[in-house]
Structure 1
Amino acid sequence: MPDIREENKDIINCVLESMQGFVVTDLDGKIIFLNDRYADILQVDRHEVIGKDVIDVIPGTRMHIVARTGREEMGSLFKLKNGESVLVNRIPVRKNGKIIGVAAFGSLSMLDEMSTVATIQKIGHLSQELNQYKSELNKLRGAKYSLDQIIGNSPNLIKMKELIKKVAQTKSTVLITGETGTGKELVAHAIHQLSTRSHHSFGRLNCAAIPNDLLESELFGYEEGAFTGAKKGGKIGKFELANCGTLLLDEINQMPLYFQSKLLRVIQEKEIERVGGNKPIDIDVRLIFTTNRNLLDMVHQDSFREDLYYRINVMSIEVPPLRTRVDDIPFLVEHFISKINKELGLNITGIDDKVIELFQTYYWPGNIREMENTIERAANLALQGKLTLELFEHFLLRKEKERSRNENEICLETVRFKAEKETIIRVLAQTNANVSMAAKLLKINRSVLYEKIKKYDIRTM
């Protein structure tokens, strides 16, 4: 009596081999099965490619992307190595709800009939139109900048770029810190562009630019008739507009305390409620925050909620100030000259080496934004040719004032530090090194006092 299981195996193998193209990969994108017909088209030995990366064997495939996102792709137009086009389905393979691999197969065979050719051409045309519309939509509501537009290759910048790549692959909230003008928003754009949400909206809201009484309606939206002057039909807020995408809340340190609790609830519950509404709306938004202030200091000063701070500071990226990456200045200058020429229609051909040397010795309190404005001012004076030292007279005066101010600040800071250290030592002596009692006498938080003890290297025993 024949083995039924063996007969079934033969039937399955015949089905797989009869398909125009059939390939299976594991979760890492390694090929674990390739049928003979597809191996012939690829001009490879099916046994030799087992275990190889699918992207090395099938150029242009998206199987590794399907493995990462878990989303099937049905009816994608794909050009084979022999020049023929087919419609391909890519399906994640799951076991107990967990993705273990990806299968891809053609849904139209390569026939010469006019109907098949016409169908593929029509799909190709529609695909081009769709890509065009997506491109236009991204210009309106997507991220403008990519990782390539973060200029420089200094060690701390390279380290930051590597961190951006890792952070982009997660869904966690991100806190971007750094001084004014360092390019924190640009980092947020790059995270969105590298993420799986890049084809969805990238929303932005500057917390310092919106009056407190309008903040809730801007973020959550409102229903018709919610308040006097409300638009007919209501308004969709930033959270809904960015659904399935990314929302950047710039200068989160400027968000008022009363609203921080509402934001905390949104992060925890993943739902919002429009102003004047009574129905919760589920949202799937990745949140990115920026700040130019130390939020932990604000927590100690009771001007920022501690529970919100730890909610938003899951992944943190610190953008280095320009003064710590002076080797990047020549590349930044070249980039800004090219940008200014394009935007203003000028013909600046370069910059004097003495100006670069001057730039590399300046403190740059306004960081990259200040440097761009400095170059633009000189370019407007020159209009064309090389930017020489004479064109930066205004900058030289500012540099001298900044030097004098820094010297005065250093003197004052030294006096203040000395007085503060002596006061802490005296109070600790009075309380027999009881930090809690000393903090009460000094009228500061105990954690702040511990930080100052560590800062000034004060021995409490």
Structure 2
Amino acid sequence: MKFVTVEQSDARLKMILDNPFEGSIAIDETGTVFFANSFFLEILNRTEQEVVGKKVWDVIPACRLFETVGQGYSIWGETLIINGKEFLVARFPLKKDGQTVGAMVKTLFPDQITAKEIMNKVSRPAKTENYIKNTLCTCRDVIGETPPMLYVKKLARRASRTSSTLLITGESGTGKEIIAQAIHTRSVRREGQFISVNCGAIPENLLESELFGYVDGAFTGAKKGGKPGKFELADGGTILLDEIGDMPLFMQVKLLRVLQDREVWRIGATTPTKLDVRVMASTHTDLIQLVKEKRFREDLYYRLNVLEIKMPALRERIEDLPLLINALIERINRKIGADAIGVSQESLEIMKRYSWPGNVRELENRLEQAINWSDDHIVDIRNIPIRPWEEESSNVPMSSDIGFRGCIQETERDLIVSALEQAKGNKAQAARLLNMQRSVLYKKIGRLGV
């Protein structure tokens, strides 16, 4: 066996640090430079003797490296100007036994031109089918080990073994689309497309053409050559009809025919197009109640509800909170370039007591706010400006106030029901009649059990 001497090891380390494509300069806890490689010396136009042993602010006045010693965390993607040249750099602490003993700054690219070229390539990835498929959620993205989530995972495994129509229900923000994507990527249709359509976000007059497509000359302004609808694009794969409860009645009739005959008629077509597509639907509304109110077709409900998965609310699986927090922090770190590693124990206790009306989506939003407001690796959610858990604890009704609040809620419910009847079930139109945002209307519908 051939051993490497200390001198050889030091020489190899120097070759790694002293490469012609990356600048490095390091300081101790007092701000004194103890290392600078040849790349940095060249752009500084100084010798090693002129740099090592000097204070970093005397060598590079614009450099904020000494701040890193006090902060103790990394900063990536910062611009540093040296002798009139811009460099994209990263600065990070040097630690020993958990204590910060210095800091280092490194150039990420040889120059700004190279940096921009690479960033342009990264920001415009090729839209290949493989790229699109790789962006879908998998079973690993379904986080949770509590009984409600273990049951969801069990149902998802079964649902992935079939092509039967699937209905996914649950409150907003519980992860209905994530479970749909996970089932698709686990199924035999994973090589096909996964197409998601929000039935409540598309205007009624455009919904039919979006779902079923149209032929050349079908109507004024139609695209030359026609256009395939979402169902055709999902042929061989899966289509998710999100917020199916918002679909207008006239479209429910057409969708029922598609589910029965497994074919679509493009607008203006004289012959149908056969399909091989799995249909999933999701909703946060009570479809049974909509059926009773004649706002959703009963026959369509039973066509959709061959298999059903009900996503539990976050408050029903609060023990999953630590797992969710870790997964979401990792995702947020990648998204915004942060380096958070967890939340404080005080934050966790607060989060466990909160009801999370916005579910996992709200949790991710609050965590991202807290990470942006935090100066430490351990995040404290008490730092964010708006703290809904404080409002929730202060709004607990007194027993003497229950009757009064009940009257207000009943009146509010009657107004919403009346507006929905006038709008024939169209929530967007009902929201306009009530002079409120549609998202607010959705929350009130869920809270009041409309």
TM-score (norm 1): 0.58
Aligned to 2:402: 411
Q: Secondary structure at the match of 1:348?
A: coil
| Contact 1:142–1:200 (CA under 8 A) maintained in structure 2 | no
One-letter amino acid of the structure 2 residue matched with residue 402 of structure 1 = E
One-letter amino acid of the structure 2 residue matched with residue 201 of structure 1 = Q
Aligned to 1:197: 189
Aligned to 2:390: 400
Query: 1:195 and 1:365, CA in 2 relative to 1: closer, same or farther beyond 3 A?
Result: same
Query: 1:227 and 1:384, CA in 2 relative to 1: closer, same or farther beyond 3 A?
Result: farther
Aligned to 2:159: 167
**Partner deviation per Cα, 1:375-394 (whole Å, 9 max, x = no partner):** 10011111542212541452
Counterparts of 2:161 and 2:253, CA distance in 1 = 28
**Partner deviation per Cα, 1:421-445 (whole Å, 9 max, x = no partner):** xxxxxxxxxxxxxxxxxxxxxxxxx
One-letter amino acid of the structure 1 residue matched with residue 362 of structure 2 = E
| Contact 1:142–1:201 (CA under 8 A) maintained in structure 2 | no
**Partner deviation per Cα, 1:356-402 (whole Å, 9 max, x = no partner):** 1111110100000001000100111115422125414522xx12323
Residue 259 of structure 1, CA deviation: 0.7
Query: 1:321 and 1:390, CA in 2 relative to 1: closer, same or farther beyond 3 A?
Result: closer
| 1:243 paired to 2:256 | no
Query: 1:306 and 1:413, CA in 2 relative to 1: closer, same or farther beyond 3 A?
Result: farther
Query: 1:226 and 1:401, CA in 2 relative to 1: closer, same or farther beyond 3 A?
Result: same
One-letter amino acid of the structure 1 residue matched with residue 143 of structure 2 = I
Counterparts of 2:319 and 2:338, CA distance in 1 = 26
Counterparts of 1:237 and 1:284, CA distance in 2 = 14
Query: 1:285 and 1:389, CA in 2 relative to 1: closer, same or farther beyond 3 A?
Result: closer
Matches within 5 A, 1:364-383: 364-383=356-375
Is there any run of 5+ residues in structure 2 with no aligned partner, and where?
A: 1-125, 411-450
| Contact 1:143–1:202 (CA under 8 A) maintained in structure 2 | no
| Contact 1:205–1:248 (CA under 8 A) maintained in structure 2 | yes
One-letter amino acid of the structure 2 residue matched with residue 224 of structure 1 = D
Match of 1:252 among 244, 258, 280: 244
Counterparts of 1:404 and 1:262, CA distance in 2 = 49
Matches within 5 A, 1:28-39: none
| Contact 2:169–2:176 (CA under 8 A) maintained in structure 1 | yes
Aligned to 2:173: 181
Counterparts of 1:287 and 1:180, CA distance in 2 = 20
One-letter amino acid of the structure 2 residue matched with residue 202 of structure 1 = F
Counterparts of 1:302 and 1:143, CA distance in 2 = 38
**Partner deviation per Cα, 1:212-235 (whole Å, 9 max, x = no partner):** 010111011111111111111110
One-letter amino acid of the structure 2 residue matched with residue 411 of structure 1 = I
One-letter amino acid of the structure 1 residue matched with residue 330 of structure 2 = S
Counterparts of 1:386 and 1:214, CA distance in 2 = 48
Is there any run of 5+ residues in structure 1 with no aligned partner, and where?
A: 1-133, 420-461
Counterparts of 2:361 and 2:381, CA distance in 1 = 20
| 1:221 paired to 2:213 | yes
| Contact 1:349–1:384 (CA under 8 A) maintained in structure 2 | no
One-letter amino acid of the structure 2 residue matched with residue 291 of structure 1 = T
Aligned to 1:267: 259
One-letter amino acid of the structure 2 residue matched with residue 183 of structure 1 = G
| Contact 1:192–1:246 (CA under 8 A) maintained in structure 2 | yes
Counterparts of 2:333 and 2:230, CA distance in 1 = 35
Query: 1:217 and 1:244, CA in 2 relative to 1: closer, same or farther beyond 3 A?
Result: same
Counterparts of 1:261 and 1:143, CA distance in 2 = 33
| 1:280 paired to 2:263 | no
Query: 1:389 and 1:247, CA in 2 relative to 1: closer, same or farther beyond 3 A?
Result: closer
Counterparts of 1:214 and 1:142, CA distance in 2 = 30
| Contact 1:224–1:230 (CA under 8 A) maintained in structure 2 | yes
Aligned-residue RMSD, C-alpha: 2.4
Residue 350 of structure 1, CA deviation: 2.2
TM-score (norm 2): 0.60
| Contact 1:178–1:321 (CA under 8 A) maintained in structure 2 | yes
Match of 1:154 among 146, 154, 168: 146
Query: 1:385 and 1:142, CA in 2 relative to 1: closer, same or farther beyond 3 A?
Result: closer
Counterparts of 2:226 and 2:145, CA distance in 1 = 48
Q: Secondary structure at the match of 2:219?
A: coil
Match of 1:353 among 324, 336, 345: 345
Counterparts of 1:135 and 1:147, CA distance in 2 = 23
Aligned to 1:292: 284
One-letter amino acid of the structure 2 residue matched with residue 315 of structure 1 = L
Corresponding pairs, count: 283
Residue 280 of structure 1, CA deviation: 0.8
Aligned to 2:430: none
